[in-house]
Chains A and B, each alone.
Chain A
Amino acid sequence: MHSNATGRVLRRSKPGMPDATGERTRLVIGETLSIETGAVRSGKLFTIVVPLGSDEFERFAAAGLCEAPLHEFALEGSSGYSALPGFSRVVVVARHPGVTDDEGFSAQRVLFDLFPDLPRPSGQAVFSQDVFWFENPLTDAEIERISSELLGNPLINRFWHGSSLAGFDYVPDVELPASSAVERIDLDRPMDELVRLSEERLWAFTREEIEAVKAGFADSAEAGLRAAAGLDPMPTDCEIEIIAQTWSEHCKHKEFAAAIDCLDPATGLHRTVDSLFKTFIVGSTTRVRADLEAAGEDWIVKVFSDNAGLVRIDEKRMFAFKVETHNTPSALDPYGGSLTGIVGVNRDPMGTGRGGARLLFNTDVLCFAPPDYSGPLHPGQLHPARIMAGVVKGIEDGGNKSGIPTVNGSVVFDDRYRGKPLVYCGTGAILRSDYPGEPSWEKPVRPGCRIYMAGGRVGRDGIHGATFSSGKLDEKSPRTAVQIGSPITQKLMSDFLERACAEGLVLSCTDDGAGGLSSSIGELARPDNPAQGLGGAVVHLDRVPLKYPGLKPWEIFVSESQERMTLCIEPEKARLLEALAKRFEVEITDIGEFTDTGRLDIRWNGARVAWLGLDFLHEGLPRKHMEAELCWPGASEKAAAERSARGGAAGNLPSARAAGSSVSPSTRLPPDFDWNAALKAVLSRPNVCSKEGIVRRYDHEVKGRTVLKPLSGLSGNAPQDAGVVRVDLEGWGGIAVSNGIAPKYADVDPYASSAGAFDEAVRQIVSVGGELPLLGSGGFWSVNDNFCVPDSAWDPVGNPDGKKKLGALVRMCEALYDASTAYSIPLTSGKDSMKNDFRAGKVKISVPPTVLYSAAAAIADVRKIVTAEFKKPGDIVYLVGKTRDELGFSEFSSGFGLEGGTIPQVRFVEARGTYTKMMKAHRRGYLASSHDCSDGGLAVTLAECCFGGSGAQGPAGSPSRYLGAAIDLDALGLEPGVALFSESHSRFVVSVIPEKTDLFENLMGESAFRLGIVTDAGSLVVEAPAASSGRPPANDAGSGFPSTPGGHGFPPSPLIDIPVSDLVASWKSGPGGASW
């Protein structure tokens, strides 16, 4: 049947050699599926469709594919090929046609290095497949389960199994049916018919948008132009597809640009928000920028208008920063989704300004449902454990293989991320300021310049996202729903681009992301301001190199195939550019030219398949109107409530009422509550526990610039706050990177959730020694906001609580504005993802409204940063920042099922004061350590500060390997539960050099509370506060709470006394590592 395969080579480990892949597969199948496979052996199969003689075949296998000490091989038809003695089942994991197969391409490269005279095929000629043999006679059902749940993903893989390999004959080549290149779309039809057509073709137009499209083509001037150009008055499929792409939520951010009618149900008053983006994000940054520039801080270079925000490092360099999300693809294929997310966001800084920025670091934040979920899964849903394992592996490969250190990140668990995992991928980069010609941060495009496509080839990948053609796939159809990124393709391209830009060969460039060429060319072709001319481009789609033949023109133009950039090249530099590309083994193709016609002129073998005015394309989109209900207090209401609370009136914050009860959960604990057990329990909770199993799979120090790593200390166990990298290897200037995210508060107080997240990102940077703008040495800050919210467009049937959801988003944006302006920290770029819901029939699972703030800030001298862990016995321990009774949704309350309590609020003025003092403490060298307080409160922070290791010798796990601390809580004057576990923001645990304590206390005044001393005892000891010892037993004390063994109802003394090695063990016992 597949006679075009000339042969196959099977490669596997020699008997007696280790087979880690096989062994690991056996373990994971046993652990996760409870199937006893017996021994498992792994191998690789290479299917070759190039004509080879038998000698060549053997040489390719022996010399090219195998390592003599490790591997043995068998050619198809030879005795060792079919069966493996002692193994009863064999599974082949192949790929569907059109799915990225880097290993096949690499094998092909080796083939032509070995036989340079072989004729080169136009496409892929060597395919790789994974092979697994199982000892036990597994049933077909077991094999199918193992295949689709562990070995691969049915969306991208094709599985085959048997008792021997003899019958395997699959070749993943693509064949597309012949069809006409262009179709005319008749718009003179009833609206209902057009709406139906839009749904069928996945254009996703609203009725208003269809009206606008109709009006655009019916416009008399336009109709006249089309007639004069000899074109049909009705649009082509290509034209409609271009408009649909350009007007998509993804490209135009219609909901963040919408006019929103906001109703406050408390007052019945309406107000209009004229675009969340303009009002809050641009609005705060504009104000901050004015304040900064008035004070002489002019480091903001370019915000919101390019692929990444740009701020100035020094006269020679700028810093580019972008954070993106890749949620839906990661839900469908976790590995491919996150891998594509990370290599995709890498192209944003690469394609910022004129291009060629050097990538400096990655930062990733991942939100999953708990991996131990045991409830039902809906069709199309993957198990959270599987999503987590795949996403982590994708980020591992995407970052590590590209040689970019992952320096900071976070993992957040919430059951509702079953609706969709959130996969935030960010990249920072350095762009030189000294390119020949125009400034590097601009994007010049001149008529007559050539349009080049560089990097990967075009297939049907990503067209219309995941839903495209899902109903009519046959075995020869390319799979397009999910993509697998190719880090090596991109690495080759980025090496090339960096060189080409540095040599002045590239006038400007942008990346091919959402919307593919249609977006990249559509944006480059349109000048930023009308004075620069009309813009325009001619593109010859027949010149675009394809992965396989048969694509229609519109498919080529909107395809989202990865690892591509669009370059604007001055004609006289084209020859040099092509020569450089050849040497770097990067495919680049001249596909057209920029013009000054004001039109996007798309050709197929010379004929026009689209001819659209850029003005209509970019400005013709009707404004979206939406409705919101503001059910939660904003900043002013909170301030009023707090004032009245201070005045003694019955004024708990409204958010406390929303949380169920204003009474602090701490009052409901029995007096003999076991605080040792409580601390250990909180340390092992998913959002607190060690993420070492994930963190260590990311290379966080490639490039040699990482001077503060996520896990530090001699023990390698001490979690840090921000990551810090050097800007270059010659000087000591650096950048601190942090992330803030707090979705657990979002349901009851979206404003507090957003404000808390912003504060978390800022305080982590302050903790290591970063300085706020206007107060410090004038270094830059750059913050990306990333909103991932459930569908917030109200619909009486499909989304009845949409107004409330949009109201929550408005509150989150208000907090963004307040935080940004309070700290004078600008937003520089960001992203919104508006439909994070899983729907199947009547089931709908929506993610909690989530905003991530990713911050980066200049560090003047990375030699002076302060790490989080305690370092020397005798250093004095302080808590900086005020602790309030804010136990609502704390890890402690959630862990013990305590409802109610106040949600932590950020008091920006107070926080700014605290941070200003911290900056001075850093500058004056008082601090031996600093660690910010977040999930788990003071108790968890104190514990983590003890994890760094003492430097003393001794066997692993012995107490002397750790420092300890002796703490009492008297200075706080709070109930022990509040003191230890409240999650009030803007706080730090610091240790101060003993000789500096007087100076430190004078500086800090009422902002610091002396807690105790660092010890060499290897235990964390916390004495009970004097105030709590006489407290009467609480009314509802008793069942369900851990109590002190032999405590007889009295408060234990000390409250906490635990060897640090035990605390480390508890912290490492949580579900924070991907198990497979």
Chain B
Amino acid sequence: MVKAIVLSGFGINCEEESAAAYRLAGARADIVHLSDLFAGLASIGDYDIVHIPGGFSFGDDLGSGRVLADMIRYRKTADGSTLLDQLDRFRSEGGFILGICNGFQVLVQAGLLPDVGGKRIQDASLTFNASGRFEDRWVTLAVAQPSRTPFLAGVESLYLPVRHGEGRLVFGDGVSAEALVKEGLAAARYAGADGLPTETYPENPNGSPLGIAALTDGTGRVLGMMPHPEAAIHIAERPDRGLLERQGRSADELTDGFLVFRNIVKEVRGEG
């Protein structure tokens, strides 16, 4: 059985719905408190997928995801390694890592995304929205074609909620939005009503350059995205549910966000 570890604790908030999404996709999902990983009571090596959910780890103090990323980089687990060492090993051994919202911010802070040089050195950052505000709104994403990450294989667009105050990408030396788009590492971008990527508010809720909403690394096994697929599993969760139901759809039909979880579970099973 495909096994996913869903991290929790220290201000992570979205562990339950994330675990439920993997279960619905046919995987086993264990919600594991980070303290159990540090104490050696659980190990990511026992899993196929590591999921870092959204939330406000350590209240977003020092910048979103910063304190948790520092913990992952510097704090020693029971066997003397850091969690970053373990994640790096996990990735190189073929494991999949998905970070949503705050989880994406942690992956970027820890240098795992976009990781253009492959050296785990932070080369991008997710900073305050251009509006200066946290916002909860639904957005349409245009997925890079063909997808370089199995998480989004065969998906063209996604309708998902964003719920963040710090989702605007900026890049360090040697990395650019244009290059990431060109190489397909900009895995999904905010799209306007015409379906094309946009930098215009509110379709692009944070002012991210070229509308970049999600990044994958060169292996395609690590994906980070600001929008929340785990909150868009059924039609019932969509703001346009009433319209769809009147058109004959059922509230418990699966919808866009589920595709991300279904894809990765299939990929692990070798059905991708």
Residues in A lying within 8 Å of B, measured CB to CB = 13, 17-18, 20-21, 23-24, 44, 63-65, 67-70, 102-103, 105-107, 109-110, 113-114, 116, 396, 400-403, 486-488, 491-492, 495, 583-585, 696-707, 709, 711-714, 716, 729-730, 732, 862-864, 866-869, 871-872, 928-929, 948-949, 951, 953-956
Contact = CB atoms under 8 A, between A and B. Distances in A.
A69 B242 contact: no
Given A585-B35, A729-B17, A928-B246, A712 B239 contact: yes
Given A400-B56, A707-B241, A862-B251, A716 B74 contact: no
Contact of B122 (A20, A23, A68, A583): A68
Contact of A67 (B8, B16, B125, B173): B125
A948 B161 CA distance: 17
A714 B134 contact: no
B11 interface: yes
Given A707-B236, A928-B246, A18 B125 contact: no
B155 interface: no
B263 to A, nearest CB: 19
Interface in B150-208: 161, 163, 168, 170-173, 175, 193, 207
A69 B70 contact: no
Contacts of B61: 102-103, 105-107, 488
A69 B133 CA distance: 22
A69 B171 contact: yes
Given A702-B13, A703-B16, A714 B132 contact: no
B128 A403 contact: no
A491 B23 CA distance: 25
A866 B245 CA distance: 10
Nearest to A928: B246
Contact of A18 (B67, B168, B243, B250): B168
A379 B268 CA distance: 66
A495 B33 contact: yes
B14 interface: yes
A70 B39 contact: no
Contacts of B63: 67, 70
Given A70-B170, A403-B13, A403-B56, A109 B67 contact: yes
B193 A953 contact: yes
Contact of A709 (B12, B129, B239): B239
Contacts of A955: 193
Contacts of A67: 63, 66, 109, 122, 125
B55 interface: yes
B59 interface: yes
Given A18-B168, A732-B252, A713 B56 contact: no
Given A107-B62, A698-B136, A703-B16, A713 B239 contact: yes
Contact of A714 (B12, B163, B239): B239
Contacts of A702: 13-14, 54, 163, 231
Contacts of B59: 102-103, 106, 401, 486-488
A864 B252 CA distance: 10
Nearest to A861: B251
Interface string B44-72: 00000000001110111111001100110
A863 to B, nearest CB: 4
Contact of A697 (B20, B135, B230): B135
8 contacts: A110-B74, A584-B35, A703-B13, A704-B231, A707-B251, A714-B239, A872-B246, A949-B240
B9 A69 contact: no
Contact of B243 (A70, A486, A706, A714): A714
A400 B170 contact: no
Contacts of B250: 863
A71 B149 CA distance: 30
A70 B127 contact: yes
A717 to B, nearest CB: 10
A400 B136 CA distance: 10
B252 A704 contact: no
Interface of B: 8-14, 16-17, 20-21, 33, 35-36, 39, 54-56, 58-63, 66-67, 70-71, 74-76, 109, 121-125, 127-138, 161, 163, 168, 170-173, 175, 193, 207, 228, 230-231, 233, 236-237, 239-243, 246-247, 250-252
A493 to B, nearest CB: 12
Nearest to A13: B127
B212 to A, nearest CB: 14
Contact of A20 (B17, B128, B163): B128
A339 to B, nearest CB: 11
B156 to A, nearest CB: 16
A701 B13 CA distance: 11
Contact of B62 (A65, A701, A704): A65
Nearest to B172: A69
Nearest to A24: B132
Contact of A867 (B74, B207, B241): B241
Contact of B237 (A13, A65, A706, A951): A706
B179 to A, nearest CB: 14
Contact of B242 (A700, A713, A953): A713
Contacts of B138: 716
Contact of A871 (B135, B173, B193, B243): B243
A190 B55 CA distance: 59
A716 B243 CA distance: 12
A489 B128 CA distance: 23
B14 A951 contact: no
Nearest to A404: B13
Given A704-B237, A705-B17, A20 B56 contact: no
A109 B69 CA distance: 12
List of 10 A-B pairs having minimum Cβ-Cβ separation, nearest first: A403-B13, A704-B17, A69-B172, A867-B242, A106-B61, A20-B128, A24-B132, A863-B251, A871-B246, A729-B20
A929 B241 CA distance: 12
B140 to A, nearest CB: 11
Contacts of B109: 67
Contact of B125 (A69, A486, A713, A732): A69
Nearest to B168: A18
A700 B136 contact: yes
Contacts of B75: 113, 116
Given A18-B168, A488-B58, A716-B137, A699 B242 contact: no
Given A68-B121, A699-B163, A867-B242, A18 B62 contact: no
B62 A949 contact: no
A584 B74 CA distance: 18
B56 A863 contact: no
A17 to B, nearest CB: 6
A69 B67 contact: no
B170 A714 contact: no
Given A107-B61, A584-B9, A712 B130 contact: no
A866 B242 contact: yes
Contact of A110 (B62, B76, B130, B252): B62
A213 B69 CA distance: 56
Nearest to A580: B35
A704 B18 CA distance: 9
Nearest to A396: B134
Nearest to A956: B193
Contacts of A65: 62
Nearest to A704: B17
Most chain B CB neighbours (cut-off 10 Å) among A102, A107, A113, A869: A113
A707 B237 contact: yes
Contacts of B193: 953-956
A871 B14 CA distance: 32
Given A109-B58, A704-B16, A712-B240, A114 B231 contact: no
B240 A951 contact: yes
A237 to B, nearest CB: 37
Contacts of A103: 59, 61-62
A17 B16 contact: no
A46 B247 CA distance: 57
B251 A716 contact: no
B235 to A, nearest CB: 9
